Chain A
Amino acid sequence: MNTLKWVNKMVETTTLPAPNLPKFPLARYLKNQPDAVEDRVVLHAPQAIAYAAGSSEVQRFTPTNSLDAWLLRSPQGATTVDIPAHFVSGDDPIVLTGPKNAGGLLYVHVGKGAKVTLQEKWASGGHVLGIWLMLVVEADADVNWLSYDSFTADTVLVNRTATLAANAKLNWTLAGFSHNSGLNRVDVRLLGHNAEVTVNVGVLASGNQHVNYTTSVTNEGQHTVGHINQRGVITGNAHLMFNGIGHIIKGARGSDAQQENRVLMLSQRAEGDANPILLIDENDVTAGHAASVTRVNADQLYYLMSRGLSATLAKRLVIRGFLEGGLAEIDDVRLKKELFATIDRTLVAEDA
């Protein structure tokens, strides 16, 4: 299966091919109309960076599948950010903040050899939101990207796509602390040789959320490295599904595809799935996966309680530790504290 055929097939059938979103009723979601919006993503950059917003920016988004087409169906605010070649970001990250009550389109281009830290934050409310992030990383660039989702909308479909040119590096963390149901798709294509991506996902699902995180990395260039690491904690009636897809295409010799998908269920009614999928069309590669769906680790609880901590507190700390497996790369101390506080609050509210 090569990429071109794959794209053709999608245009034909206007549904995503099965391996791409296993066990997710995308068609049902796509029957909803996305909220129409004019608001745009706000940029906060410590240094001067090219930023453009307006309807003309929409043309950068070319739909290749039914989800893309849906995202463009209603008028959406579009923003483009251009990080110049060899740009080096300072201590403060560049922050992109989603509009208060809207989704939208966000195109970020990172020029050749740039070294940059970016945060993308969404806390939007609304009925049905669509978000499309398109990240293009040029050769030799090094990108640290944090996506922090705390949507309050009912339904959100997020499509985050990235392409990496030769020797580019992307260290991506996705913190999912939202209240919505829907889809979070991350799709990274390693086009150039030696390109490397790590996608870390840490999700807290609670209440009646029904969410799917499908993270796929396609190794297309030679000697490319793609690692997926997803951790999710589920409380209440929530249902969380992790799909991890590692695809090494024919010719991508010397490449590596690894993934780990782990969910921890805290309540009887919580439901979790972890589906690792490896599609390997080349022999000279390394690949591996691990998956688990578990409940709280009793030995760890016992250890903490043997120091006098109550069962509730011990449980909260163990859960933190589990999620930390997906959030370890976040070195923004304030943000980390905020996330941990959210975990504690959610667990108290759900009495988990």
Chain B
Amino acid sequence: MHTLEIKDLHVKIKAEPEHPEILTGVNLKLATGEIHAIMGPNGTGKSTLAETIMGNPAYEVTQGDILIDGESILGMAVDERARAGLFLGMQYPQEIAGVTNAEFIRAAINARRPEDDQIRISDFLKQLDKTMATLEMPESMADRYLNQGFSGGEKKRNEILQLMMIHPHFGLLDEIDSGLDIDALRIVAKGVNLMRGPEFGSMIITHYQRLLDYIIPDVVHVMKGGRIIESGGPDLAKKLEKTGYEHLKVGEQNG
């Protein structure tokens, strides 16, 4: 079992030092084998949390710590964190020409393996074909440039393809459901559910209960004002669907 632990995390935007902290003391513990959902109003700091865990240089930790298996990762660069087991499925994936999807995914897998034990191309292609079939992606997408010209929904599906090929310990999925049609939502959820197991934990950021009908979380957290103000079981998400966030107050434990 592996753990990802967020302790009293305070975060600022580096470019705007005058701006008050975006995260104001987040506490969270995610273990492999678990799926946590994070919900909350727009602009409350959900993406900031995911990006800060991943090590996005735009954000600065002003207080608190992030630990994997008890070791702080704050001193690690983005790529080191990825190799330590983190994966961030982004709200807005980048487009990169000149490198094909397949080439890129293979490079990502090989980055985790020693120089003298790189994945065999035939093994890689077999896995890729199989995973793409699971996600109902056309084969041609393997040879297209990374996210280049992909539709919004295709990009999200491609994030899940990478997740499934890379096999991280922790998948942070930021609004992986936004822009997906109903069929795509079901397919993406199927992908995440296939990852479920003792070696995989996930933090799913979403605005919609619908996704959580397909991927049933173990824990649901509500974020507001830059911290987690309430946690509960899957029912909490259902309740929020009806009541919204307005009545929840920052600074006191609700529920």
- Which positions in A face B, CB cutoff 8 Å? 298-300, 302-311, 313-314, 317-325, 328, 340
Complex contact A302–B166 (CB within 8 A): no
**Which residues on A sit within 8 Å (CB–CB) of B83?**
308
Q: How far is the CA of A318 from the CA of B95 in the complex (A)?
A: 10
Complex contact B56–A320 (CB within 8 A): no
Complex contact B145–A306 (CB within 8 A): no
Per a CB cutoff under 8 Å, which of A311, A317, A322 touches B79? A311
CB B152 to nearest CB in A, in angstroms, measures 16
Judge whether B112 is part of the interface by a CB distance below 8 angstroms.
yes
- Main DSSP-derived SS at the B contact region: mixed
Q: List 9 A-B contacts (CB under 8 A).
A: A303-B93, A306-B82, A307-B166, A318-B96, A319-B98, A320-B99, A321-B145, A325-B97, A328-B97
Complex contact A308–B56 (CB within 8 A): no
Complex contact A298–B79 (CB within 8 A): no
Complex contact A308–B112 (CB within 8 A): yes
Complex contact A310–B104 (CB within 8 A): no
**Which residues on A sit within 8 Å (CB–CB) of B87?**
306-307
Give the number of residues in B that approach A within 8 Å (Cβ atoms): 26
Q: How far is the CA of A252 from the CA of B55 in the complex (A)?
A: 55
**Which residues on A sit within 8 Å (CB–CB) of B145?**
321, 324
**Which residues on B sit within 8 Å (CB–CB) of A328?**
97
- Which positions in B face A, CB cutoff 8 Å? 54-57, 77-79, 82-83, 87-88, 90, 93-94, 96-99, 104, 107-108, 111-112, 145, 162, 166
Complex contact A302–B56 (CB within 8 A): yes
Whether A300 contacts B96 in the complex (CB less than 8 A), given A305-B77, A324-B145, comes out as yes
Q: How far is the CA of A314 from the CA of B98 in the complex (A)?
A: 12
- Main DSSP-derived SS at the A contact region: helix
Q: How far is the CA of A150 from the CA of B146 in the complex (A)?
A: 28
Whether A309 contacts B79 in the complex (CB less than 8 A), given A298-B57, A324-B145, comes out as yes
Complex contact B108–A309 (CB within 8 A): yes
Q: How far is the CA of A128 from the CA of B203 in the complex (A)?
A: 63
Whether A321 contacts B56 in the complex (CB less than 8 A), given A307-B108, A309-B107, comes out as no
Whether A305 contacts B82 in the complex (CB less than 8 A), given A311-B77, A313-B107, A324-B145, comes out as yes
Complex contact A320–B82 (CB within 8 A): no
Per a CB cutoff under 8 Å, which of B55, B90, B111 touches A303? B90
7 nearest A-B pairs in the assembled complex, by CB-CB distance? A324-B98, A320-B98, A321-B98, A308-B82, A303-B94, A308-B111, A307-B108
Q: Given contacts A298-B57, A307-B104, A321-B145, could you give 11 more A-B pairs where the C-beta distance is less than 8 Å?
A: A300-B94, A303-B90, A305-B82, A306-B55, A306-B78, A306-B82, A308-B108, A321-B98, A322-B97, A322-B98, A340-B98
CB A313 to nearest CB in B, in angstroms, measures 7
Closest to A297 in B: B94
Complex contact A305–B96 (CB within 8 A): no
